[in-house]
Amino acid sequence: MSMQGDHHTSPDDLDRRRFLKGSALLSTSMFIVGTALIHPGEGWAVEATGLKPATMQTLIKMARDIYPHDQIADKYYAIAVKGYDQKATQSSDIKTLIEKGVAQVDQIAKERHNRVYTAIIDESPRVEILHVVEGGPLFTMLRAGLIVDLYNQKELWPLFGYEGESASKGGYIRRGFNDLAWL
């Protein structure tokens, strides 16, 4: 899978996301054309090669539901899970684990809500489905991978108020190591 398009989220994009948040549009903000998963709101598209594009869409949604941060664009969740598409091209075991796991998630979603996981608009019924599968191999692999592959994206750190590397900037000795004045 390759990421295409503009990877930079502009303030306009964030405003649009805030506007869309909670509306039905948010959950359908990605759509599939052929093997491509397209996110017009954020201006990116991915090409699925090892997994079904709908499976990638579900993984991205599951990733957000496992570690939900409203300030984070979908593309970061997409980046965090895109490695599975590549792994699926190399390992039929991984491919089967993921496709079966996603099929199970969709099966529960259909039984409960008459639609696939990504089509469930509200977060809480989706999270209830995750609680059903949280002991399973897909969830276990996804969660353990996300804890590194999501939070280790340097582009995300400013959104959490984390500044990262400091030695090349001379440390914080003149950059606020003791600037706290509210106590």
Partner 1 sequence: MTSFPLNDDSVVVIIGSGAGGGTLGTELALKGVKVVILEAGPRIEIEDFINDEWASFAQLSWSDKRTTSGSWRVHKDFPNLPAWIVKAVGGTSIHWAGASLRFQDHEFKARTHYGNVEGANLLDWPITLGELAPYYEKAEFKMGVTRTNDIPGLPGNNNFKVLEAGATKLGYKEVHTGRMAINSRPRDGRGSCQQIGFCFQGCKSGAKWSTLYAELPKGEDTGNLEVRPESHVLRIEHDGSGKVTGVVYADSNGKHQLQKARVVCVAGNSIESPRILLNSASNQFPNGLANSSGQVGRNYMRHTTAAVFGVFDKPVHMYRGTTMAGIVRDESIHNPERGFVGGYEFETISVGLPFMAAFLDPGAWGRKFTAALDSYPNMAGLWIVGEDMPQETNRITLNKDIKDKFGMPVPNVHYDDHKNDISMRNHAYKQATALYEAAGATHVYQQTPYPSTHNLGTNRMSANPQDGVVNKFGQTHDIKNLFVSDGSQFTTGAGENPTLTIVALAIRQADYIAGEMMKRTI
User: Where do contacts with partner 1 occur on this chain (CB under 8 A)?
Assistant: 66-69, 71, 127, 134, 143, 147-148, 150-152, 157, 160-168, 170-173, 175-180, 182-183
Q: How far is the CB of 121 from partner 1 (least distance, A)?
A: 17
Comparing CB distances to partner 1, the nearer of 40 and 68 is 68
Spatial distance between the Cα atoms of 115 and 175, rounded to a whole number of angstroms: 52
- In the structure encoding, which two tokens stand for residue 181, read together? 């004045």
Whose tokens are 């099966």? That residue is: 107
Spatial distance between the Cα atoms of 74 and 135, rounded to a whole number of angstroms: 25
Comparing CB distances to partner 1, the nearer of 38 and 81 is 81
Q: How far is the CB of 39 from partner 1 (least distance, A)?
A: 21
Comparing CB distances to partner 1, the nearer of 31 and 160 is 160
Q: How far is the CB of 64 from partner 1 (least distance, A)?
A: 10
Q: Read off the amino acid at residue 109.
A: A
Comparing CB distances to partner 1, the nearer of 34 and 176 is 176
Closest alpha carbon to 68 in 132, 135, 122, 112: 122
Closest alpha carbon to 105 in 120, 86, 91, 94: 120
Q: How far is the CB of 92 from partner 1 (least distance, A)?
A: 26
Could you tell me where the DSSP H helices lie in the chain? 11-20, 24-27, 53-66, 74-90, 92-113, 123-133, 137-149
Comparing CB distances to partner 1, the nearer of 92 and 166 is 166
Comparing CB distances to partner 1, the nearer of 72 and 78 is 72
Q: How far is the CB of 79 from partner 1 (least distance, A)?
A: 15
Cα three-residue angle 52-153-64, rounded to 5 degrees: 50
Spatial distance between the Cα atoms of 117 and 104, rounded to a whole number of angstroms: 10
Q: How far is the CB of 165 from partner 1 (least distance, A)?
A: 4
